[in-house]
Amino acid sequence: MTDHALMSWLPQLAPAAPAWLATLQAAARAQVQTQIAAPDAEAWRYTSLNHLLEQGFVPIDETITALQPDDLDEVLIPGLASRRVVFVNGRYAPELSATEALPPGVHLDSLRDVLAHDPDAVRVLLTAEPATVPLFMALNLAGLDDGLVLRLDRAAILAQPLELIHLSIGLDQPSVAQPHHLIVLGDGAQATLVERYVSLGAAVYCTNAVIEIQLGRDAVLTHERLQTESQNAFHLSGLSLRQDANSRYQSVNLGLGSRWSRTELLTQFCAAHAECDLRGLYLAGDDQRIDYHLDVNHAVPNCTSRETFKGIIYGKGRAVFDGRVVVAKDAQKSDAAMSNQNLLLSPQAEIDTKPQLEINADDVRCSHGTTVGQIEPEKLFYLRSRGISAALARRMLCLGFADEIIHTLHSETLREHLSEQVGQRLESAPWD
């Protein structure tokens, strides 16, 4: 790990930054340096940073304004959502966004705006501890630039899903965008957020996004994250979730695109009876590297978590699943179940999976299950005996495998769209 490549991701500190922010960013910068000097070998056991570092990414310092709403057409999913917030290369693009007529109690701003006009409002929302976050979250914090600030007051309900689109366009110089989003749901608030990562064109670029979510008592958030970037993109994303009593978080993480990606999901229960359901599907083919890290903290008693991740790996694809459930000393009656299932379709594909449990309380129900296998020949034979071609039969079986995750998406439109995307990808997959 070379020092300069990552440090050069950081823009110069804005001179006008308030003192607390400067302190926080300095702490984050120190954490980046610590992590570079002594990398967490376990966290990076299966993923090499070399490929990422070789690209020599530099921070983006221009706001792209040349895009017209029409340019969005190719990335929009018809009929998905009426409201959307668009970020182009990590910067809020109001001209492309559609945020009219928000229900009462729903506040939507750009982080830049809030930092400029009411920085102290951001202060209470930034909960990530710079000294303990993983490398790329620290890097993102140190380079804090823009992002979405979505606040729902007590009992506010955002009935229509909100689409958060990260649109990336390659620049002359390979660049890195580091948006940082803050989502806060007050007590009893409810929302559905569809977070998408898409590319215009096929240039090499990097996204290092962080999303911090705080759920108040009884709050419910449905969070669907679709990463369908171009095969030349580098993708890093970190989620930091904190849940208050009785809150419910349901998420689906779909990783289909990008050449090299790593997703870190850090969740923490702060009060009893909260529920967290993390589901995911990853598709790694050709030369793709896809890496998922879960860190689920049962810090308090009586919480429930479910982690269900499935992967399809083909070509020279390589996937990593590193899931960890930690039950703290007094977190009795914790209930956690983690499952990771993988289909390996070709001889060059590789899966490295590491589902960990760390249990420090006795009255708990914790389990994990992992499988790696191929398409069962009997199933294939059954379909072939019905006159279905081998290629189609394989695709059907893979789609069936993927459907357990896809069918949990909230909207029919999205389910169809994703099934189609997975189907298309599999069509081009080499089978031998």
Query: Which chain residues interact with another protein by CB under 8 A?
Result: 42, 46, 329-330, 332, 342, 344-374
Question: Quick one: 156 or 338, whose CB is closer to another protein?
Answer: 338
Q: How far is CA 241 from CA 182, 251, 276, in A?
A: 10, 11, 10
Q: How far is the CB of 386 from another protein (least distance, A)?
A: 24
CB nearer to another protein: give 181 or 289.
Answer: 289
- For 116, phi then psi, to 5°, come to -75, -35
Closer of 165 and 319 to another protein (Cβ): 319
Residue number with CB closer to another protein (58 or 372): 372
CB of 94 vs another protein, minimal distance in Å? 46
CA gap 282, 290 in Å, rounded: 7
Our CB check for another protein shows the closer of 197 and 314 to be: 314
Give the nearer residue to another protein in terms of CB position, either 348 or 413.
Answer: 348
Nearest approach, Cβ of residue 368 and another protein (Å): 5
Nearer to another protein, 34 or 332 (CB): 332
329 or 386, CB closer to another protein?
329
Beta bridge partners of 190: 157, 220
Q: Measured from the CB of residue 178, what is the shortest distance to another protein in angstroms?
A: 31
Strands (E), 299-349: 304-313, 318-327, 335-344
| Cα 198 from Cα 234, distance rounded (Å) | 12
Q: Return the closest-CA partner of residue 343 out of 370, 304, 367.
A: 370
Residues paired with residue 225 on neighbouring β-strands, in sequence order: 195, 253
Q: Which CB sits closer to another protein, 186 or 355? A: 355
**DSSP 8-state class, residue 98:** B
Buried b (16+ CB within 10 A) or exposed e, 231-247: ebbbbbbbbbbbbbbbb
Instruction: Provide, rounded to whole angstroms, the least separation between the CB of residue 293 and another protein.
Output: 14
Show the CA angle centred on residue 248, arms to residues 166 and 218, nearest 5°. 115
CA distance 306 to 356: 14
In the complex, minimum distance from the CB of residue 392 to another protein, in angstroms, rounded to a whole number = 19
Q: Which residues pair with 243 in a beta bridge?
A: 215, 269
Structure tokens at 14: 């804005």
Min dist CB 41 to another protein, Å, is 8
Residues in contact with 103: Cβ distance below 8 Å, sequence separation at least 6, in sequence order: 156, 157, 158, 159
**Residue 335: what residue type?**
D
Task: Note whether 389 and 380 are within 8 A (CB).
Answer: no
Residue 432, number of CB atoms within 10 A of its CB: 5
Nearer of residues 364 and 393 to another protein, judged by Cβ: 364
Stated as kind and residue range, the H or E segment containing 283 is strand 275-284
Nearer to another protein among residue 14 and residue 359 (C-beta): 359
Backbone angles phi, psi at 308, to 5 degrees: -130, 105
Burial 125-151 (b: 16+ CB within 10 A, else e): ebebebeebbbbbbbbbbbbbbbbbbb
